[in-house]
Amino acid sequence: MLSVHTSPLHQPGTGDAGGMNVYIVELAKRLAAIDIEVEIFTRATTAALPPSVELAPGVLVRHVDAGPYEGLAKEELPAQLCAFTHGVMRAWAGHRPGHYDLVHSHYWLSGHVGWLAAERWGVPLVHAMHTMAKVKNAALAAGDTPEPAARVIGEQQIVRAADRLIANTGGEADELVHHYEAARELVAVVHPGVNLDRFRPADGRAAARARLGLPADALIPLFAGRIQPLKAPDILLHAVAHLLEEDPSLRERMVVPVVGGPSGSGLAKPEGLHKLAARLGICDVVRFRPPCAQDELADWYRAASVLVMPSYSESFGLVAIEAQACGTPVVAASVGGLPVAVRDGVSGTLIQGHDPADYARALRPFASEPGRAERMGAAAARHAESFGWDTAAAATADVYAEAMRERRRLRSAHG
């Protein structure tokens, strides 16, 4: 596996680490459990890490020196792809011929390294986009930066080079065909999973609130994720201001946690969200919290009345599944994979567009109907149960087997 720009060892919610990190870690572990050994190549971001680290039995993370350890933005990484590819080839040279059976690249930067490696080793390339430039550019948040033309061209090249493409949802598969002219028969849909051992209702909302020092009877709409225009945490703050304007008494019993760190174009104005809360006069109800470990994140989900996910673009929306698995309903934008992740009207509410008034309207019943969070939360937990990682790993292994079969068939056909 190749994950150039973000390490599976990094804390999700910091810098460029997010759902893709969780995806790679969980998928690799489950693949190893079904006897598919995985080596994950990622860029070294500190001299303190050894060249390789065992993440789990059968899963090795290899750190490749490519560019300075720190202070390199994702936009500067294309210039380091040659150095990264060199590091991958050096590792390969130390093995017997035929050591690697297949390359699975994640995100377009890795796709370019994967393309070269797969060709050099004569093995299939399976690629997962995770996000696509053309899709992101078609739904930009105000103040967000469009993805560069180099990425668009790079993604088109990878689509042509890959033996198989893995899409998170049927909608993403359609986008690959529509925007990138992918061959429909080469695109496999595999829903990402959720770690159902970690993300579960456990001992319930009251206990989680007690652990986090939150009031037992508060209305708690939660934002969890990277702080950047794409994820639109500002829409939640505007929606909260709407609610308080309509019903000032809510101020006494509302807490709005924003859990995550600045990322992407959000790094340019890391204090922007704090300033917005001050401008809206809601600093007393908003609590900014840094990214946290997965077990603590599960408690934030459990403690919340509802998770709010107003993103402009989401290839899947793992956060929505994690929250639901913890028994918390979701109010989300009806974009990307979120209509698959959230069962509208059952495990949460999907919203067309990004008008804060619509989000306020969806949140209001959680304040006025005492049993709503519990009722929808129970349905949410049931819905999330179908998204286990074992299912995702088995489906991914089938894609690998198919790609390898096809590669063997072509080889024997060409004598």
Q: Say if 199 falls within a structural domain.
A: no
Q: Tell me: do 356 and 407 sit in the same domain.
A: no
Per-residue model confidence as pLDDT tens digits over 219-228: 999 999 988 8
In which domain, by residue range, is 222 found? 205-385
Do 279 and 330 share a domain, yes or no?
Answer: yes
Residue 341 has φ and ψ, to the nearest 5°, of -70, -30
Q: What is the pLDDT of residues 13-69, one digit of tens each?
A: 545 556 788 899 999 999 999 999 999 999 998 888 899 999 999 999 999 999 988
> Is 70 exceeded by the pLDDT of residue 268?
no
Q: Identify whether 134 is part of a domain.
A: yes
Whether 220 is covered by a domain: the verdict is yes
CB atoms within 10 A of CB 353: 10
Residue 204 annotated as binding site: no
Whether residues 116 and 212 share a domain: the answer is: no
Residues 183 and 232 in one domain: no
Which of 72-86, 115-129, 233-247, 372-386 bottoms out in mean pLDDT, i.e. has the lowest? 72-86
136 domain-assigned: yes
Percentage of residues of the chain with pLDDT beyond 70: 96
The answer to whether the annotation marks 136 as part of a ligand binding site is no
367 is in an annotated binding site: no
The answer to whether the annotation marks 242 as part of a ligand binding site is: no
**Does 253 count as an annotated binding residue?**
no
> Angle of helix 272-280 relative to helix 233-246, nearest 10 degrees?
10
Residue 224 and residue 105 in one domain: no
Cα gap 21→17, rounded to integer Å: 6
Same domain (yes/no): 179, 321: no
Are both 404 and 371 inside the same structural domain?
no
Number of domains in the chain: 2
SS3 of residue 192 by DSSP: coil
Average pLDDT of the residues of the chain:
92
Does the annotation list 301 as a binding residue?
yes
> Is 173 flagged in the annotation as binding?
no
Same domain, 148 and 221: no
Q: Is 11 annotated among the ligand-binding residues? A: yes
Q: Is 414 annotated as a binding residue?
A: no
What ranges in 293-355 are assigned the alpha helix state H?
294-303, 318-325, 338-341
Any idea what the CATH number is for the domain that residue 114 is in?
3.40.50.2000
